[in-house]
Amino acid sequence: MNRNSTLKEISSRLIRLLPVAENLKDQIRSKIDLALKTAFEELGVLTREELDQDRLNLERAMVRIVELEKQLDSLESELRAKN
């Protein structure tokens, strides 16, 4: 479930609890949506998709670091051999 659908679900449940006129529901819904979005962002809550993407990016970065370490070792060896 992504963040937007989670926010919409929570917002819908809160709106159903409020006995207000129909024209006020849209205004209240937008304020609730904004408050929930802000709260989730401040807490650093990630969706499953965002977490998976971050994990994939981290794995790619780790592979690149290993490649660069090997390259650095090779260059250091070449430099020592010349001296």
Backbone angles phi, psi at 14, to 5 degrees: -65, -40
Phi-psi region of 48 (alpha: psi -120 to 50; beta: other; left: phi over 0): alpha
Please tell me the total count of domains within the chain: 2
Are 57 and 36 in a shared domain?
Answer: no
Are 30 and 17 in a shared domain?
Answer: yes
Greatest distance between any 2 Cα atoms in the chain: 84
Are 21 and 58 in a shared domain?
Answer: no
Whole-model pTM?
0.49
Are 63 and 25 in a shared domain?
Answer: no
Domain hosting residue 67, numbered range: 50-83
As a whole-number percent, the residues of the chain with pLDDT over 70 amount to 89
Question: What's residue 1's pLDDT?
Answer: 54
